[in-house]
Structure 1
Amino acid sequence: MFDRHPLAVVLLVLTVFILGYQRLRNRVPRGTRLPPGPKGLPIVGNVFDMPKENAWLTYANWSVTFGDIVYVEVFGSPLVILNSVKATTELFEKRSANYADRPPMVMVNELMGWEWNLGHMRYSDWWRRHRKMFHHFFQPRSLSNYHEVQLEATSALLHQLLDKPNDFYHHVLQHAAAAILRVIYGYDVKTTHDFYVSLVNEAAKDLTHAVTGLFLVEFLPILKHIPAWFPGASFKRRANLGVISAGKMRDMPFESLKRSIADGTAVSCFVSESLEALKDKENVPENEETVVKNCAGVAYLAGSDTTASVVASFMLAMAHYPDVQSRAQAELKAVVGLSKLPNFTDRPMLPYIDSILSETLRWNPAAPLAVPHRSVEDDVYEGMYIPAGSVIIGNSWAILHDENAYPEPFAFKPERFLGDNEKQLPPDPAIVGAFGFGRRICPGRHFAMDAAWIAIASILTCFKISKAVDENGNVIEPAIEYTDGLAIHPKPFKLQITPRSQEIVDVIRSADESKK
């Protein structure tokens, strides 16, 4: 075998050397200990313990045995999983300078070309430049600038649900992408199967598989140098396909808008305003246009995927919890009435709708595992040694299903976030895990939450959501099952979506006509 593949000999020798170096590097200082975890094997460590799917569930189960911080090694590379608010707060918040970095993410960044993604970048000045630009446009005080666009996207969603309720999931995907495409690129989604909506969905699918795949190349980066034809190098072939979708998603809408700017047909949006500002700025930093393009691509991706997951989960929950739906609709009737659609100005008077959004974020978080962090220097937490260079994963799912903080964690109970009976409110999911942690928390979370909130309030105003029935009148139970990945979505399910009255049908129709 080695005669036929001399590259294998070189890789084997280098791998043994790397493993020996990592073993020396991970020696535990006197007076400390590594965090507990499943016992691994010599050399390969815990490679056979690593979950192949739904990793957050395995990590949560480990916490029952080993505690809220779990340690594993794969080929000498340390991996630390944090399963509690206490641990993530201490490390990601209070010690953020040491834990704001990202690991190399070889498969995603180097092989699939996602190194431009703000969420994946190493903690550096290059990352800070992106974060600063992103924050400028999506900070809380800027959100009202985008409300009109979000209302228009929601109006289109309602019209589609009215006309083709069985295609609700496609409508939800389109709604999520429509608002962010208009805000970022000034692009109006015009068709049900829009090209740019399909583009971002394809890229998100490729990315999610790469991030959650636990490819061996992450632990033995030297494997990135083997050719795609080499036996066992299927990860290289997958990466070669993924790099195409990543590049298209970032470049195509950006270049299209630049052509519109050149011919004078572009509308005001994040990209056009940012590029225009560069013309008037003295001493423009090098590659600033690239920063604009990268930030636009990140917003396009994250704004579409997260919002769609949240709205789809909400609809699944409503089918299973009709009492929650009834209470929400009673609140909407009292505040909004039956002859108009809700607006953002109604939000302060709709606390139960807010609690439904919070519970949706908690019940099945769109990102059950945060994007991995990396420890820059050696650290000690409660007597446990965390080596420099460790990959640190915040298990958002475990945190948001902690029965001490959220009794009956698998039940959908929005009232837990209301101040009834002067009880202490549980941790806000938007802060403790649903959007990441510390300095790397998602900077677009406020926009995503606004988009989800107005969709939830509007759907509840207009429709009754219930379980579908088959041709014999038998109820079809919608399974509470989710895809695997960085951002998860409910697996395909059926619903019955019916307008609550003829009056609300007329409201939906008139709202749609007013835009023409």
Structure 2
Amino acid sequence: MSVYTIFAIGIALYLLKGWLARRSTLSLPPGPKGYPFIGNVYDIPHHYPWLTYTEWARIYGDVFSFSVFGKTTVVLNSIEAVTELLEKRSSNYSDRPRMVMANELMNWDWDFAHMRYSDWWRRHRRMFHQYFQPRNIALYHPIQKKLSIVLLDQLVRSPAEFAPHIRQFVASIVLQAAYGHEVKSEDDFYINLVHAAVKPLLLVVHATGKFFVEFVPSLKYIPDWIPGAGFKRNAKIWRKGALDVRNVPFDAVKKSIDEGSAQRSFVYDNMEKIRLNKTADVLEEEEIVKNCAAIIYLAGSDTTASLLLAWVMAMVLNPDVQKRAQEEIDQVVGMSRLPEFSDRNSMPYIQATLFETLRWFSVTPLALPHRAVKEDEYNGFRIPAGATVTPNTWAILHDERLYPEPFKFDPNRFLKDGVVSFAQQPDPLLTGSFGYGRRNCPGRYLALDTAWIAIASILATSHIGKTVDGKGQITEPVVAFTDGLVSHMKPYQVHFAPRFHGAIDMIESAKAHAL
């Protein structure tokens, strides 16, 4: 029997299984009408799926579904549905669907954000959470403070390069936290390593219309040379980055530990813990340390940089917000020193500005997909076992029922009587900014602290304005964002300038004491 015959039989059986599974007394949630066997293969969006899903929600309701080759996807577009399914029924929805491109062909199976819900995943989550829980997070404040001063110095020296400066700032913090690695320049080897690895990953997680191997997994067995197997050839190239980003920094720390030159970090501390506790399953524990460290490095740098670059855009488009935030800083710290983490509770407007950035610009517009372990029912509709359940975070954070005038950048929505309050509009941390249920982001506390110190420090020293061209014409920055799992503002230009006489001296003084 030829490979083509086996392949054809495999597809036929897969389609038949899907068709039979759909025959039930309860209907699936409504959605676009598809074709027999192939389903909605011609309907699924290839680009910016969260926008298409938001439009579909207006037609079919907040919870709708579509199927491709017998595989059902249910999209949740309301906080009510997310809360009921992913929070209250989390035991049934904490699994991840099979990710053929990412995990099986590109070797991202070590990434515990993608892992199936299991004891192996729980061991990763436990180690990560124990190290980055709120009561421990203040240990990183000195590093975050020091590197925020480096960022301010860079913005003074080369303000037009604000985007790479911000990326370096964030990457420096996560690399220090994960590996004790000190970044010396924007062209740091480890920063380039993570950029090379993450770019293809972000393209494949929600790329439902690009890689049909996700719907017909048997396609992964076809030979690389067959026409149409370009996905396999690409996966082979991208696989190297997935392995390098996990192994190279970890091996370097292990070597420095052996040489006695290692710096304190997540890897160092947990490797010492393994050694002192004389853990029986040393190899397994080391693998968990390696996997968790790579996620700190991988996920933390990209998402937090995206958040800060969105905040810069918000400031230049909303000068009244920028002015009020700076007035608050001046009232608390004056113009003689930089903000400290100890000032945070005295700056509710700065905090509200951070919350509003999380809501206004969805860093991860579609949360990582969940999977229904068992068949379930919601509002009279059937959610089949094995269905992919995708929360549309962008739709929820821009739901005018929750957030009136959702496209307006307004920190006041999170303030009441001069303090941060979610009595009127819900906390964006709970409506999806960092995921849902048991699979929410355990690194959110480090990310929020990193973003806060950058925002407060920049506002204290800089005015962010629109650029002016050679003819004296103001250049209006355009809000446009990229596709993919993590969305970024497309490149834009703004002008950074010292906001008062003496700002540069203040930065120089802080640098002399901290660096």
User: What band does the TM-score fall into relative to the shorter chain?
Assistant: over 0.9
Partner SS state of residue 103, structure 1: coil
Q: Per-residue deviation at 1:68?
A: 0.8
Partner of 1:513: 512
Partner of 2:389: 392
CA distance in 1, matches of 2:396, 2:376: 22
Partner of 1:436: 435
What is the letter of the counterpart of residue 501 of structure 2?
Q
Matched ranges for 1:1-150 at <5 A? 6-28=2-24, 30=25, 32-150=26-144
Structure 2: stretches of 5+ with no match in the other structure: none
CA distance in 2, matches of 1:458, 1:497: 13
Q: In 2 relative to 1, CA 261–423 (structure 1 residues): closer, same or farther, beyond 3 Å?
A: closer
Q: In 2 relative to 1, CA 223–469 (structure 1 residues): closer, same or farther, beyond 3 Å?
A: same
Matched ranges for 1:250-399 at <5 A? 250-285=246-281, 287-399=284-396
What is the letter of the counterpart of residue 198 of structure 1?
N
CA distance in 1, matches of 2:371, 2:463: 46
Structure 1: stretches of 5+ with no match in the other structure: none
CA distance in 2, matches of 1:276, 1:27: 55
TM-score, L = length of structure 2? 0.97
Q: Per-residue deviation at 1:42?
A: 1.4
What is the letter of the counterpart of residue 8 of structure 2?
L
What is the letter of the counterpart of residue 28 of structure 2?
L
Partner of 2:225: 229
CA distance in 1, matches of 2:207, 2:61: 25
C-alpha contact (below 8 Å) 2:414/2:422 kept by paired residues:
no
C-alpha contact (below 8 Å) 2:65/2:73 kept by paired residues:
yes
C-alpha contact (below 8 Å) 1:278/1:284 kept by paired residues:
no
Q: Per-residue deviation at 1:18?
A: 0.8
CA distance in 1, matches of 2:452, 2:424: 20
What is the letter of the counterpart of residue 264 of structure 1?
G
What is the letter of the counterpart of residue 347 of structure 1?
R
Correspondence 1:196 to 2:193: no
Partner SS state of residue 324, structure 1: helix
What is the letter of the counterpart of residue 9 of structure 1?
T
CA distance in 1, matches of 2:279, 2:241: 34
What is the letter of the counterpart of residue 62 of structure 2?
D
CA distance in 1, matches of 2:388, 2:206: 14
Q: Per-residue deviation at 1:423?
A: 8.6
Is the deviation greater in 237-246 or in 339-348?
A: 237-246
CA distance in 2, matches of 1:163, 1:229: 51
Correspondence 1:240 to 2:236: yes
CA distance in 2, matches of 1:274, 1:424: 40
Correspondence 1:503 to 2:499: no
Partner of 2:469: 470
Partner SS state of residue 340, structure 1: coil
Partner of 1:414: 411
C-alpha contact (below 8 Å) 1:402/1:409 kept by paired residues:
yes
Deviations 1:130-160 (A, max 9, x none): 0000001111111101111111121111111
Correspondence 1:173 to 2:170: no
Partner SS state of residue 345, structure 1: helix
C-alpha contact (below 8 Å) 1:19/1:76 kept by paired residues:
yes
What is the letter of the counterpart of residue 25 of structure 1?
A
C-alpha contact (below 8 Å) 2:38/2:70 kept by paired residues:
yes
Partner SS state of residue 389, structure 2: strand
The number of residue pairs the alignment matches comes to 510
> Sequence identity of aligned pairs in percent?
49
Q: Per-residue deviation at 1:174?
A: 0.5
CA distance in 2, matches of 1:410, 1:237: 41
What is the letter of the counterpart of residue 51 of structure 2?
L
CA distance in 2, matches of 1:319, 1:363: 14
Q: Per-residue deviation at 1:74?
A: 0.5
CA distance in 2, matches of 1:445, 1:392: 22
Partner SS state of residue 405, structure 2: coil
What is the letter of the counterpart of residue 319 of structure 2?
P
Q: Per-residue deviation at 1:282?
A: 3.6
CA distance in 2, matches of 1:116, 1:152: 32
Partner SS state of residue 450, structure 2: helix
Deviations 1:467-512 (A, max 9, x none): 1111111111111001111111100000011011231111112222
Q: Per-residue deviation at 1:515?
A: 3.8
